[in-house]
A and B are shown apart, each in its own frame.
Chain A
Amino acid sequence: MSTTLTPDAPGVSETTRKPMSKSKPAPRATAESMASKQRDISVSEFFAKNRHLLGFDNPRKALLTTVKEAVDNSLDACEEAGILPDITIVIEDLQPDRPASAKSSRYRVTVVDNGPGIVRKQVENVFGRLLFGSKFHRLKMSRGQQGIGISAAGMYGLITTGKPMVIHTKPKASQQAHHIELAMNTKTNRAEVTVDDETDDFPPRRFRSLTPGTRELAASSQFLADTDYPTGTSVSIDLEGKYQKGRGSVDEFLELTAIANPHARITFVPPTRESAADEDDVPLLRKNKDRELAEDDTSPPAEAAPPTPAVTTETGGVILFPRAVSDLPPETKEIQPHPRGIELGILLQMMKEAQSERDTYTLYNFLQDKFSRVSSASASSFCQAIGATARTKIADLDHAQSEKLFKALQDSKLPPPPTDCLAPIGVRQLLAGMLKGVRAEFYAASSREPDVYRGRPFQIEAAIAFGGELAGDEPARVIRFANRVPLLYQQSACSSFKAVTETNWRNYDLQHPRGGVPIGPLVIMIHMASVWVPFTSESKEAIADYDEIRKEMKLALQECGRKLGTYLKKRAKMRREGERRDVFQKYIGEIAKACNAISGVDAEELYAALLEQAKRKTAVADLELDEDGKAIKDKGADDADEEGVIILESAASRTGVDAHDSDAPPVGKLSRAEAAALKVHAMRGDDEPTLIDVKQPDRLTQKGTSSKARASKSPSKSPVPAAAPKPAADASAKAPSKPKMVLVNGKLVPKDQSPGLF
């Protein structure tokens, strides 16, 4: 593939050069001749040549990175503006007639969001320049950091197809949308606009009739409906790419994004066909079941005010990741750097900047203004420490004093940085996300207290899912997130992966080969939230391995692991007791008969007495059976230790015991599954005291309380009122019954209905 600009790129502007020095029959080069070739390198040029640094190494990854950058930007923009994100991703195959063997194809990626839009004069900067953005110069938690992403995607598209980026953006609901087409000039790092007009076509209407699936959804106002996108932005990029499902695919990215962002509604229209595979790929996560399911699902949700069930659905090839919670993540604050962990160079730079702000800036004020957690008392103690006074100006400090100051800052005992800059996903949301995407029997999540690395606050969260339908003897799957963005590549370079391998899973009754991930039906999720996530490269694929970070990760994993270990031990005990009872029951009949034959004792009576004893001896098996469902509910309220755990009915834990317990009807299963859902509801609010007001309350209202009556009855398929009439008791809870999982015949349904993750 050519890396040079194609001809229809906008003209290259001249760059000024130094005049050539006189040529001499001279050695190979002189300082002058070399100087003639020395010139500025534009950032864009640099990255055009080093595109792998940005995640465009190969066509498949390029497609993923493009989607990822656009989606990240959309989510960030929506959240900053306090809008519940509604994002539609469309990938069109522009060469549908290509030979079947073609390894790559030309695609058009379009991402439409309902964000705040972009004012006209910033469009070129946002999309047409590398390293332009609102996120680099602040310490605030967001998905994007540098302002490279979307422009780089546009640049990649331009390089591979020569087509400019097409942008529709509508900052005001009452006005027309801007329609702009632009291409980046890599030499100048500036955008060249080719089309610039106003249009009513937002959200772009042509997508509604793209496929049978989109037509069907659009007919019920579920696809790019005008009302859902009063403002927003749509970006289209043509690029050479490769669409193929499996690990590291667009599909996986969106599924994981949906898990970490339960507040977002994501719609995905994949291309009509996959590219030819050139290697044995990991089997599809959602398997081909989807297809069949899509056909089975003949009744599309009702027309008026469709209440979206919180399970992933697929309609005619269009995948809908519904909104699972309608609370936006709490708004995060920008913070100043924390003195501890700052580097000398950065300190000097900050001093210089402060100086240029105001000549008379005193050290005393500087410390208080530019750092977090420095009180007036500590500021004056720093001044004292380096032999300065409260009135000493920064300008008057010599280098030795600066170094002294630096050292004093490092040794200081200041409170850790403020943490209102962090928006962790939260234990409840983690569990909700895992429940939705992973079909396991046991879920545990934990959220650590914020900590600091290099003066930057961060917070680690972990969750694990175990058992159920997960494959038993494979290495555990690790899913990683940074600021809610899934990380799909370079797993082994990631701090989180190292934390997983370094945690001693054997302590929790799991197999764990040395230096590897544990073996078992296990999914491990790690999330790092920080104002500045230290990635190993600009493509943001792996978290750098800071000791502080890894330590927190391990602690979070251990917390989850302990919960799992407890559960596994309990489960093993239940199973053992069940087996024991089996053995005892087998023999007591024979014993009663023998005793009767020997001494004429009443066999029935003896049998009854022995059975009574057998049951008592193996009471543990019973206890769990009868009370677990209830226990889970209770625990949610008062047992702090069991916080963040959900246990679903599993066939394994009941084998052998069920047979004898005719008293435990299938209702037990039902209430247990429901209890899990209830628990997710019940935990609401505990971990997130500040929730931003919801913009679209009509779509999904969520009430934390769900009547118990519902828990025991109404195994209704979905909360669509028309589809499943509910008992009267439910009337009050029409909206609230937002099921994390739906029950059919007493069984959990995410499995049947949603194309989940695994």
Chain B
Amino acid sequence: MARKPAPKPAATGTKPVGKLPDRDVKTIGKLVGLSDMVAKRSMSGKDPLIQIPLRTKSNTNWNKKKGILEMGDATADRPLFDLKTAKQFMQTMLHASTIKDLIEEGKTSSLRGVFYKAKHTVAGTKENTFDTQDESDPILEDLEVSLGALREELHIFAENRGTLVGNITLVDKGDEINARRMGSGGWGIPSIVEPDVIRFGKCEAKFVLHVEKGTVWNRFNEDRFWEKHNCILTHGAGQPPRGCRRLLQRLNQELKLPIICVLDCDPWGHYIYSVIKQGSISLAFESSRLAIPEAKFLGIRAKDYDECDLGDAVKIDLTENDIKRANEIAAYPWFAENRHWRKEIELLLKNGFKMEVEAMINKGISYVTEEYVPERLKAKDWLE
């Protein structure tokens, strides 16, 4: 048979791990455990399989007491000898090997970097181990949950996404960042914001205003909203990434700053709020690190069309998809159990249209920064 794996006679696998930090030694131990389990099962004639905690809604529990989503105990078997999972099994092992290399060399890599490192043609075929990064990213999440290791423990980071500006000083890997002097661009929130990377310095801000995306953030920054109202201004470029959410949580927990969100009035805006507040289904295992149960939803509210006397121009008809999504969200227990949110979604559906934050510009360029948000803040008119 022409094909044969050509691994060099073993034993070169492990390098001395002596001077690695304890956290890394622990992670490597987990990786070796995974490999040993596969090898042991194979040699004893048992089905090699990896157990991966399920990241689905059915395995997500709503912890009402803590106000966050938590991952359940259900796991999915990923056997090698099953057509549906054979390739994923191989990919999981490849990534495990890649990560071990990263840790041993003391480097970190982006998701995309890991994808490229593990991507090659399968020996003897024309097939790639990974075709796209979309295949690779979920495998890394699988590894996180099955190893019970956080992404930074695996030495992987995502692209920077999300921006911050405001009355605070931060220390990023030893460099002092004065968030009051960020010009028009703001400070990009890194994907890893753990205390060993980011420390908080002097902070005068009294709260954090989180907006949905960059364009809105620009409006608020240009109008120096954070200066006038003594706050921190952030955005998460839509659904906020882990780095952004973790930073918000730390600001909330360590500096006791309230988090106030200004998001679109549509099911997607509602869900962004839900993720910030309770955590997401796919990252339920990290909720305790990410969720901010105290976060508040300031607007845009379904009632605003009437209350603020907005013009017809702000209306965007709900699509079928929107309606479907709204009903799904309404059924999530953490919404369904909240009388105010039930009403909010009912009104949205009754209105039959959605509204974007930008649409407020229809009332005046700085209407949202100078009238809408300040008034609501003053009145404490928000949803929780």
Interface residues of A (CB under 8 A from B): 580, 583-607, 609-610, 612-614, 617, 660, 662
Contacts and interface: CB of A to CB of B under 8 A. Distances in A.
A594 B45 contact: no
Interface in B1-21: 1, 3-5, 7, 9-14
B87 interface: yes
A616 to B, nearest CB: 8
16 contacts: A586-B122, A586-B125, A587-B80, A588-B80, A589-B5, A590-B94, A591-B80, A596-B7, A598-B35, A598-B97, A601-B36, A603-B9, A604-B7, A607-B4, A610-B42, A613-B81
Given A587-B89, A593-B7, A598-B31, A609 B43 contact: yes
Nearest to A590: B90
Contacts of A660: 1
A594 B96 contact: yes
Contacts of A585: 3
A585, A597, A598: which has the most chain B beta carbons within 10 Å? A598
Given A590-B90, A590-B129, A598 B100 contact: yes
Given A586-B127, A591-B93, A600 B10 contact: yes
A617 B35 contact: no
Contacts of B174: none
Interface string B104-143: 0000000000000000001111010100000000000000
A219 B101 CA distance: 85
Nearest to B43: A609
Given A586-B122, A614-B81, 5 more contacts: A593-B7, A595-B97, A599-B13, A601-B10, A609-B45
A596 B124 contact: no
A591 to B, nearest CB: 5
B6 to A, nearest CB: 8
Interface string B70-92: 00000000001101001101100
B179 interface: no
Interface of B: 1, 3-5, 7, 9-14, 31-32, 34-36, 38-39, 42-43, 45, 47-48, 80-81, 83, 86-87, 89-90, 93-94, 96-97, 100-101, 122-125, 127, 129
Per DSSP, chain A at the interface is: helix
Contacts of B36: 599, 601
Per DSSP, chain B at the interface is: loop
A589 B43 CA distance: 15
A613 to B, nearest CB: 7
Nearest to B127: A586
Nearest to A595: B35
Contacts of A594: 35, 90, 93-94, 96-97
Contacts of B129: 590
Contact of A600 (B4, B14, B127): B14
Given A595-B93, A662-B1, A602 B10 contact: yes
A516 B10 CA distance: 64
A580 B123 CA distance: 17
B80 A605 contact: no
B281 to A, nearest CB: 29
Contacts of B12: 600
B93 A590 contact: yes
A609 B100 contact: no
Contacts of A602: 9-10
The 10 closest A-B pairs by CB, nearest first: A600-B13, A603-B7, A589-B5, A598-B35, A599-B35, A587-B90, A594-B93, A594-B97, A601-B39, A597-B97
A609 B48 CA distance: 11
A622 to B, nearest CB: 15
Given A598-B97, A606-B39, A592 B83 contact: no
Given A587-B87, A587-B90, A614-B81, A597 B4 contact: no
Contacts of A599: 13-14, 31-32, 35-36, 39
A603 B11 CA distance: 10
A590 B86 contact: no
A607 B13 CA distance: 16
A572 to B, nearest CB: 14
Nearest to A579: B83
B12 to A, nearest CB: 7
B217 to A, nearest CB: 43
Nearest to B46: A613
B89 to A, nearest CB: 7
A587 B14 contact: no
Given A597-B13, A600-B13, A592 B81 contact: no
A586 B35 contact: no
A601 B123 CA distance: 19
Contacts of B47: 613
Contact of B90 (A580, A591, A605, A612): A591
A596 B14 CA distance: 9
Contacts of A610: 42, 48, 80
Contact of A584 (B7, B39, B80, B124): B80
B43 A597 contact: no
Nearest to B5: A589
B140 to A, nearest CB: 15
Nearest to B42: A609
A148 B81 CA distance: 70
Nearest to A581: B81
B38 to A, nearest CB: 6
Given A591-B93, A601-B39, A596 B10 contact: yes
Nearest to A660: B1
A583, A590, A603: which has the most chain B beta carbons within 10 Å? A590
B13 A596 contact: yes
Contacts of B45: 609, 612-613
A602 B80 CA distance: 19
Contact of A617 (B31, B34, B81, B97): B81
Nearest to A576: B83
Contact of A606 (B34, B42, B100): B42
A601 B48 CA distance: 15
B152 to A, nearest CB: 20
A640 to B, nearest CB: 36
Contacts of B32: 598-599
A572 B39 CA distance: 32
Given A595-B35, A601-B36, A587 B7 contact: no
Contacts of B7: 592-593, 596, 603-604, 607
Contact of B42 (A593, A597, A613, A617): A613
A754 to B, nearest CB: 39
